[in-house]
Amino acid sequence: MNKGVIETTLQLLSNYPEWEERYAGYIKSLVNKHPKRFRKPEGLSVYSSVSRHKGETYDLRFDGQSVGVISSTPDEVLLYPRENANERYFGFILKKKGFNWVKSNEAKTFRKFFRDKAKESNDIKLKSPEHRVENRLLKEFAKRTIAEGKALIGIQPIKLNGCFFQLPTPIKASEHDPQYAKQYGGGVDILSRVKRLDKSSRLCVMEVKDENLPSESQSDAMEQALTYAAFIAKLLRSKSGQEWWDFFMNRNSTSSPVPTTLEIDVVTIMPVGSTTEFVDEIIPISSLCTNLHCHSLYYDDNEFSKGKFVFSGTYPKLLMK
Question: For position 2, what pLDDT does the model report?
Answer: 79
Asked whether the predicted pLDDT for residue 18 surpasses 80, the reply is: yes
Question: For position 40, what pLDDT does the model report?
Answer: 83
Asked whether the predicted pLDDT for residue 136 surpasses 80, the reply is: yes
Question: Model confidence at 201, in pLDDT bands (50, 70, 90)?
Answer: very high
> Cα 232 to the chain's mean position, in Å?
13
Q: 180 and 14 in contact (C-beta within 8 Å)?
A: no
Asked whether the predicted pLDDT for residue 261 surpasses 80, the reply is: yes
Sequence-ordered list of residues with C-beta below 8 angstroms from that of 143, at least 6 positions apart, any chain: 149, 150
Question: For position 91, what pLDDT does the model report?
Answer: 94
Element of type H or E holding 146: none
Considering only residues 267 and 145, tell me which one the structure prediction assigns the higher pLDDT. Answer: 267
Asked whether the predicted pLDDT for residue 37 surpasses 90, the reply is: no
CA–CA separation, 234 vs 237, rounded Å? 5
Give backbone dihedrals phi and psi of 291, rounded to 5 degrees, phi first. -120, 130
Asked whether the predicted pLDDT for residue 3 surpasses 70, the reply is: yes
Sequence-ordered list of residues with C-beta below 8 angstroms from that of 112, at least 6 positions apart, any chain: none
- Spatial CA neighbour of 229 closest among 280, 179, 279, 293: 293
The DSSP 8-state label assigned to residue 187 in this structure reads: B
Considering only residues 239 and 305, tell me which one the structure prediction assigns the higher pLDDT. Answer: 239
Please compute the mean of the pLDDT values over residues 130-152 and round it to a whole number.
Answer: 93
- Residues present in the chain in total: 321
pLDDT tens by residue, 86-107: 999 999 999 888 999 999 999 9
Asked whether the predicted pLDDT for residue 1 surpasses 80, the reply is: no
Give backbone dihedrals phi and psi of 53, rounded to 5 degrees, phi first. -60, -40
Sequence-ordered list of residues with C-beta below 8 angstroms from that of 317, at least 6 positions apart, any chain: none
Question: Model confidence at 168, in pLDDT bands (50, 70, 90)?
Answer: very high
Question: For position 34, what pLDDT does the model report?
Answer: 72
Asked whether the predicted pLDDT for residue 35 surpasses 80, the reply is: no
- The distance in angstroms from the start CA to the end CA of the chain is 34
Q: Using the Cα atoms of residue 206, residue 208, residue 213 and residue 214 in order, give the sign of their dihedral.
A: negative
Question: For position 161, what pLDDT does the model report?
Answer: 87
Question: For position 288, what pLDDT does the model report?
Answer: 98
Considering only residues 288 and 55, tell me which one the structure prediction assigns the higher pLDDT. Answer: 288
CA–CA separation, 44 vs 307, rounded Å? 16
Question: For position 99, what pLDDT does the model report?
Answer: 95
In percent, how much of the chain has pLDDT > 90?
Answer: 77
Please compute the mean of the pLDDT values over residues 131-154 and round it to a whole number.
Answer: 93
Please compute the mean of the pLDDT values over residues 45-68 and round it to a whole number.
Answer: 92
CA–CA separation, 35 vs 56, rounded Å? 6
Sequence-ordered list of residues with C-beta below 8 angstroms from that of 293, at least 6 positions apart, any chain: 263, 264, 265, 266, 281, 282
Please compute the mean of the pLDDT values over residues 132-139 and round it to a whole number.
Answer: 96
* Burial letters 120-143, b for 16+ CB under 10 A, else e: eeeeeebeeeebbbbbbbbebbbb
The DSSP 8-state label assigned to residue 221 in this structure reads: H
Asked whether the predicted pLDDT for residue 54 surpasses 90, the reply is: no
Question: For position 253, what pLDDT does the model report?
Answer: 60
Question: Model confidence at 32, in pLDDT bands (50, 70, 90)?
Answer: confident
Q: 109 and 81 in contact (C-beta within 8 Å)?
A: no
Asked whether the predicted pLDDT for residue 280 surpasses 80, the reply is: yes
Asked whether the predicted pLDDT for residue 258 surpasses 90, the reply is: yes
Question: For position 254, what pLDDT does the model report?
Answer: 60
